[in-house]
Amino acid sequence: MPRLSKSELRTACWQAIRDAGAARFPGVEGRIPNFVGAESAADILTTTKAWTQAAVIKCNPDLPQRPVRHRALKEGKLVFMAVPRLRTDAPFIALDPSQIDASDLWVASSAKGADAIGVPTRLEEMPPIDLIVTGCVGVTRQGARLGKGGGYSDLEYALLREHGKVHAKTPVATTVHGCQVLPARAIPMLPHDVSLDLVVTPSRAIRCKRTHERPTGVLWDQLDPDKRDSIPVLEHGP
């Protein structure tokens, strides 16, 4: 049986969430899907060694990972979120809970709230990242990741790696619904794709044995010219 393309896999994952009755606002199609049980998955993530040892977390801004961001802020962790499409010279937003009123932490954990409350931060101003939490459309137990197709999560990793803010052993985790876990080798992985160390569902944490080599920086020769022209931190090249 031929393998499905990434586009076909995304469609299948979005449908699987709907079929499971696990879709939540604002829907699943075309995005990192919000799912029933996102809070429980966040709870399980916070019990893992990768989480408890992390003081600085980089987390995606999507709605299903909002409980993760809120828990991090409540626990006093410094959180960085990427500016959508990395469209500014300061492409990350810093959320320092020591500088945010406790009553505003839930607001700060949202994408709009972070934009209003957080501090725009240049790559060179960022501290080393202890844990990356990324959103996924689909995953495998072996750590393959399927995003929504924009490639920004992988590019964020590559930029952080190139600037020495993450290293080869920096753990990468995600929270997903159980129906988003696909069979082994279902997801084709390319050189720029970033694999997962930890997949957390509302019922369990799955530790992945890393088999895909992560990029050590931006793969400039494979970068889309339009994307390079639209992202300020890429303007000057390698």
The whole-model pTM stands at: 0.96
Confidence of residue 1 (pLDDT cuts 50, 70, 90): very low
Question: How many C-beta atoms lie closer than 10 Å to residue 60's C-beta?
Answer: 23
Confidence of residue 226 (pLDDT cuts 50, 70, 90): confident
SS3 of residue 117 by DSSP: helix
- The predicted model gives 140-157 an average pLDDT of 95
Cα distance between residue 109 and residue 235, in whole Å: 30
Tens-place pLDDT, residues 105-116: 999 999 999 999
Question: How many C-beta atoms lie closer than 10 Å to residue 213's C-beta?
Answer: 11
CATH class of 6-233: alpha beta
Confidence of residue 238 (pLDDT cuts 50, 70, 90): low
Residue 47: predicted pLDDT: 98
Q: Which residues contact 186 (CB under 8 A, 6 or more apart)?
A: 3, 4, 9, 138, 140, 144
Q: Round the average pLDDT of the chain to a whole number and report it.
A: 95
Q: Which residues contact 221 (CB under 8 A, 6 or more apart)?
A: none
- The predicted model gives 23-38 an average pLDDT of 96
Cα distance between residue 80 and residue 189, in whole Å: 26
Cα distance between residue 49 and residue 87, in whole Å: 33
Side chain identity at residue 92, one-letter code: F
Give the orientation angle of helix 38-45 with respect to helix 66-74, to 10 degrees.
40
Q: Where are the domains of the chain?
A: 6-233
- The predicted model gives 161-171 an average pLDDT of 96
